Structure 1
Amino acid sequence: MTGKRVRPVLLVTLLGAALAVLCLLSLALGAANVPPDQVLRALAGDAPSRFVDNVVWSARVPRTALALTAGAALGLSGALMQALTRNPLADPGVLGVSAGAAFAIVLAVGVLGINSLYGYVWFAFAGALVATVVVYLLGGLGRSGMTPVKLALAGVAVTSLLWSFTQAIVLTDVDALDRYRFWSAGSLADTDDGTVWRVLPFLAVGAVLALACAPALNSLALGDDVAASLGRRLGLVRLQGVAAITLLTGAAVAVIGPVVFIGLVVPHVARVLAQAAGIGPDQRWLLPLSAVLAPILLIAADILGRLVARPTEIQAGVLVAFIGGPFFIAMVRRRNLAEV
């Protein structure tokens, strides 16, 4: 029993250490490398030069903080969506939620002339919610009802439609195009120190709602009838889950763009690690693990994007898609998934 308790603690410790190391590397590496000891001195308020202080505090601390918060939001929303639908293909990007939020932002900027983050973040929430409802309605059509593959196909169709509408707006509006090109590929660049603080309340509320769903999600995994017999109010649980997904995805997309596949890949990795640690499919562990693993992936992709194309950079969303695309294809081709 002692060994079983130690393994989850060890897993969390190792993931926390990996995240801390990546955060340090994110502050140190880029177009201009800063030695780690100088980064630590700058964080302590004793920067060796004004240049180091500006690089660390003005450019890289906001960028790293944004990767931490937005990455955790996307990972948590993906894990929540997969658990809520019992669908291993569920992901805010694959199921059109990110595309809905992105289209709503472009609509706000290009048509209504809203350029402030606090202005268009509400449109991101609305777009995410509408896209979620439409995909679920389409995925549930037909005699067989909702299946993982049908839901994924509905998500792809809605995503394609929304991207076509988005392109139609940005091609005819210079302001919308200027805003769109920075975050369409999932960009963490050009972040100021106020960006995280502006969306943090939305992300915090979404995270609390998501984590509060964990016990009910364990019951839902046994089936709706069993969950209802255990006293779970299924409608309330699903409403709470949709609210959490909308807040987390809408806020994350508003600040970093429609980064896809994080919510798909990370929960599967979390389940593998949880199984190895003897935790099992307990959502009380899987949701927090996904919230830690997602920023690890996003920060690693961001660092790699800065290094492989210096002095320019490749957007983090491009590298995440490069990893997630093959993973998505492998998931669809799995025999046991095709039989669901």
Structure 2
Amino acid sequence: MAATDAPPVPGAAHPRPRTRGKPFWLLGALVVLVALMFASITIGSREVSWPDIVAALSGSAEGFDQSAVAKRIPRTLLGLVAGAALGLSGAVMQGVTRNPLADPGILGVNMGASLAVVTGLAYFGLELATGLIWVAILGAGATAVFVYAIGSLGRGGAAPLKLALAGAATSAALASFVRAVVLPRADIADEVQSWQIGGIGGGTFDLIAPVLPFIAVGTALCLLSAHGLDLLALGDDLAAGLGAHVAAARAMASLGAVVLCGATTAVTGPIGFVGLVVPHVCRLLVGVDHRWLLPFSALGGAALLTAADVVGRIAARPGEIDVGIVTALIGAPFFIYIVRRQKVRSL
């Protein structure tokens, strides 16, 4: 293993160290992301001519086609921001728990944020620009602590399969609570039902602006945790022996991940599997050093969510498939593959 690479997540694949190829992969990721951004703006459920596309990109929104293209711009931006946040938070959660199955959706964190959002809407009349994002972050944080505590019980501590099962059970319970909150409120039922699928089709600049400061803070916390995550991969005892403040490093990284997935869920609804798939793919490309893995996971998450949104528009023309459904179709088989490949220990 190269000196620049930290040990991998226990139970995860052991990719060959790659040092010289990392700038190449970075350039390739940026090129792919730019191409997907262009595709997201130009391709939709409705065919639009090139003159209308050029006019819309120039700021014109006079005709119906130009207006359709103009609406894709904030939608694309929301996909980039949300995908980057989910990919980054998933990589951090896998590093904090040393669990190859960690993901905001699998661990129930997204559903905890969802319950908090629905409760805020139904009983407190909160709005996105005021308190709904804070409520989502608190719900995500409380759920993350609960799932980790449950998964840590018994022999072997927080084993990957135990955490996944605890997260699945918690998600099921929280989903029932969400339905219990929504059923008596017919005035918000349709809106919440559509939001729970997870999508970025309603993205506007007014919707994106309030969440950007939270995304910036969460991203900064996660990136600043890269060295600490490398040390945590060695095990708590060895990390402490090397001078790391284990509890502080884990707390800062976890806080960043919770802020990212909570804020994103408040805007897009619960979108699963991005945080599971992307870090594993990025680990194969750039190794396990979190100084590289975290930025690449953010780029990969942005690319995956943008691509999934484009696929959803094309696959069901003239309608659309919400991006949360597309990522589930991709991520569920990948989750099964990871479980079988890792041969996770039984309870």
Give TM-score scaled by structure 2 length.
Answer: 0.90
Corresponding position of 2:11: none
Among candidates 101, 105, 130, match of residue 142 of structure 2: 130
Partner deviation per Cα, 1:79-111 (whole Å, 9 max, x = no partner): 000011110000000001000000000111112
8 Å contact kept, 1:28–1:35: no
Residues in 2 aligned to 1:268 and 1:68: alpha-carbon distance in whole angstroms: 19
Residues in 1 aligned to 2:33 and 2:246: alpha-carbon distance in whole angstroms: 35
Residues in 1 aligned to 2:63 and 2:27: alpha-carbon distance in whole angstroms: 35
8 Å contact kept, 2:82–2:264: yes
1:253 aligned counterpart, secondary structure: helix
Relative to structure 1, the CA distance from residue 308 to residue 338 in structure 2 (aligned partners, 3 Å threshold; closer, same or farther) is same
CA shift for structure 1 position 192: 1.7
8 Å contact kept, 1:169–1:176: no
Among candidates 31, 49, 53, match of residue 39 of structure 1: 53
CA shift for structure 1 position 337: 3.0
Residues in 1 aligned to 2:146 and 2:121: alpha-carbon distance in whole angstroms: 23
Relative to structure 1, the CA distance from residue 198 to residue 153 in structure 2 (aligned partners, 3 Å threshold; closer, same or farther) is same
Matched ranges for 1:84-163 at <5 A? 84-163=96-175
Among candidates 13, 18, 24, match of residue 10 of structure 1: 24
Partner deviation per Cα, 1:51-98 (whole Å, 9 max, x = no partner): 4542233x1011000000011000000000001111000000000100
Partner deviation per Cα, 1:128-158 (whole Å, 9 max, x = no partner): 0110010011001113221111111110111
1:290 matched to 2:297? The reply is yes
CA shift for structure 1 position 121: 1.2
8 Å contact kept, 2:161–2:346: no
Relative to structure 1, the CA distance from residue 22 to residue 110 in structure 2 (aligned partners, 3 Å threshold; closer, same or farther) is same
CA shift for structure 1 position 41: 5.2
Residues in 2 aligned to 1:66 and 1:335: alpha-carbon distance in whole angstroms: 34
1:310 aligned counterpart, secondary structure: coil
CA shift for structure 1 position 317: 0.4
8 Å contact kept, 1:110–1:175: no
Corresponding position of 2:275: 263
Number of aligned pairs? 331
Corresponding position of 1:277: none
Corresponding position of 1:169: 181
CA shift for structure 1 position 40: 4.8
Relative to structure 1, the CA distance from residue 230 to residue 162 in structure 2 (aligned partners, 3 Å threshold; closer, same or farther) is same
2:202 aligned counterpart, secondary structure: coil
State the one-letter code of the partner of 1:302. Answer: D
8 Å contact kept, 2:110–2:262: yes
Residues in 1 aligned to 2:255 and 2:20: alpha-carbon distance in whole angstroms: 35
Residues in 1 aligned to 2:224 and 2:308: alpha-carbon distance in whole angstroms: 30
Corresponding position of 1:241: 253
Partner deviation per Cα, 1:272-318 (whole Å, 9 max, x = no partner): 111xxxxx310001111110011111111111111111111110100
2:124 aligned counterpart, secondary structure: coil
Q: CA RMSD in A?
A: 2.0
CA shift for structure 1 position 168: 1.2
State the one-letter code of the partner of 2:32. Answer: A
Among candidates 52, 55, 59, match of residue 68 of structure 2: 55
Q: Which runs of 5+ in 2 are unaligned?
A: 3-17
CA shift for structure 1 position 179: 2.8
Q: Which runs of 5+ in 1 are unaligned?
A: 275-279
8 Å contact kept, 2:196–2:270: yes
Residues in 2 aligned to 1:18 and 1:109: alpha-carbon distance in whole angstroms: 38
State the one-letter code of the partner of 1:224. Answer: D
Corresponding position of 1:338: 345
1:223 matched to 2:230? The reply is no
Relative to structure 1, the CA distance from residue 38 to residue 304 in structure 2 (aligned partners, 3 Å threshold; closer, same or farther) is same
Relative to structure 1, the CA distance from residue 38 to residue 150 in structure 2 (aligned partners, 3 Å threshold; closer, same or farther) is same
Partner deviation per Cα, 1:210-236 (whole Å, 9 max, x = no partner): 000001111111111121122111111
State the one-letter code of the partner of 1:230. Answer: L
Relative to structure 1, the CA distance from residue 252 to residue 36 in structure 2 (aligned partners, 3 Å threshold; closer, same or farther) is farther
8 Å contact kept, 2:52–2:66: no
1:27 matched to 2:34? The reply is no
1:252 matched to 2:264? The reply is yes
Corresponding position of 1:320: 327
Identity of aligned residues (%): 44
8 Å contact kept, 1:109–1:175: no
State the one-letter code of the partner of 2:162. Answer: K
Residues in 1 aligned to 2:61 and 2:148: alpha-carbon distance in whole angstroms: 55
